[in-house]
Amino acid sequence: QKEVEQDPGPLSVPEGAIVSLNCTYSNSAFQYFMWYRQYSRKGPELLMYTYSSGNKEDGRFTAQVDKSSKYISLFIRDSQPSDSATYLCAMSAKGFQKLVFGTGTRLLVSP
């Protein structure tokens, strides 16, 4: 079993929809949680990061962490075609150095 599980998708939604992307993990020591966006043939780009539990909001994006359930989510409001990409979750027990990545969820937002 992988330490971090992420549904590969693709997840197809119409423009304007609210998108929910999720990861589950097995290591209870994880405390740092990140979401990266990766466009085709590009490198991952950091979207948001959180420490421990709770929510964090940045524009149309909201990250949630539920440590009791070992479950993290990224919500995208008013989704746009430009949001079409692969979304990677990443996490670590200590700092930002030794990250464990999910395999990514491919999101397609149609006009």
Q: Does 96 help bind other proteins (rule: CB under 8 A)?
A: yes
Please name the residue that has the structure tokens 């119409």: 14
Q: Return d(Cα 69, Cα 85) in angstroms, integer.
A: 27
- From the list 22, 31, 73, 103, which residue makes contact with other proteins (rule: CB under 8 A)? 103
Q: Which is nearer to other proteins, 34 or 65 (CB)?
A: 34
Cα–Cα nearest to 101, from 1, 2, 9 = 2
Question: Which of 29, 58, 68, 98 contacts other proteins by CB under 8 A?
Answer: 98
β-strand partners of 106? 86
| 10 scored as a contact of other proteins (CB under 8 A) | no
State phi, psi for 83 to the nearest 5 degrees: -80, -10
Q: Please report, as ranges, the residues that interact with other proteins according to CB under 8 A.
A: 4, 6, 8, 34, 36, 41-46, 49, 88, 90, 95-99, 101-104
